[in-house]
Amino acid sequence: MVEAATTSAAQPPVQRTIKDYRSEVKPTWCPGCGDFGVLSALQRAFAARNLAPKDIVVVSGIGCSGRLPEFVNAYGLHVVHGRALPTALGVKTANPELTVVAVGGDGDGFAIGGGHVPHAVRRNVDITYIVMDNQVYGLTKGQPSPTTPTGMAALKRSTSMPKMAPYEGVLEGQLNMLAMVLVYGATFVARTFSSQATEMADLIGQGLDHPGFSFVQAMSPCPTFYNTYDPWKEAFVALPEDWDITDRVAAISKTMTENVEGIFHSGVFYKTRLPTLMEKLEGVYAKAQGEKMATVDTLLDQFA
């Protein structure tokens, strides 16, 4: 008897959902924290691209935002204060096939970690950097951060600011992180708001898709120490429909006039395509090794 030939039908690829990117650890942020929205948007962006959790690495520094990798079903690194970017760059350089996301707060990224930002930008390594900007140090109980507005005196429970006229509130100038990364030369720059879940997921997704260093400012209110939900809801407006995302000078100008206008623009401010660091290195390897791509082993063999 001849057995009938059997063929197994090709199985369709598994379509992951947001649940596939949730870890067993439950978020421990304060109720109402804007970081919940960022976490959900990031997971939605992963699901929309059907990324395998084993191929994702999320790197964070210190602060409330630093807890985020614990809540994502992926590889995570919770590193020391201000060092998320160099760690993420190292991960991506070691294994370019990984999807690498660095996350942090305005203090972690633009105070102690501020010196790493221009160098991450100029290297144009293919990672996405999400800064959860609440304009306050939330984890350490409400001290002013690099992005706290000058003169702000309403930070709840904070004892780190002068309380006597004429020097009440924050004395230092307020950093403009979008203007900074634009001047540095970032190839993808966007801003979004944690209350705008769909738009935030879309913008983070665009950052993931972009080949090169992607910067996303995620305005993420701290309801415990500096509750800005209501004023920010009123202040957020979308960039004009005819906005030219290739005009870096216009993008810088737009960020510089927002304080005067009292608004925040959301959307992609700037986007361009430049060679990434790995693409440049591949050219160096090809020139050194001919058509055969160099590896660590082949390079070390030259010194044997």
Q: What is the mean pLDDT of each run of 10 residues along the chain (304 residues)?
A: 48 86 95 95 97 98 93 96 95 96 94 94 97 90 84 60 61 91 98 94 98 97 90 93 97 91 93 94 74 69 78
Residue 260, pLDDT score: 74
Rounded Cα distance between 225 and 240, Å, is: 33
Residue 282, pLDDT score: 83
Residue 165, pLDDT score: 53
Q: Name the DSSP class of 270.
A: E
Identify the structural domains of the chain with CATH numbers, from first to last: 18-273 (3.40.50.970), 275-304 (no CATH)
Write out the two tokens for 167. 């020097």
Rounded Cα distance between 149 and 155, Å, is: 11
95 φ/ψ sector (left φ>0, alpha ψ -120 to 50, else beta): beta
Directed axis angle between helix 277-289 and helix 84-94, to 10°? 40
Residue 171, pLDDT score: 78
Q: Which residues of 209-247 are buried (b: 16+ CB within 10 A; e: fewer)?
A: ebebbbbbbbbbbbbbbbbbeeebeebbeebeeebebee
Residue 293, pLDDT score: 62
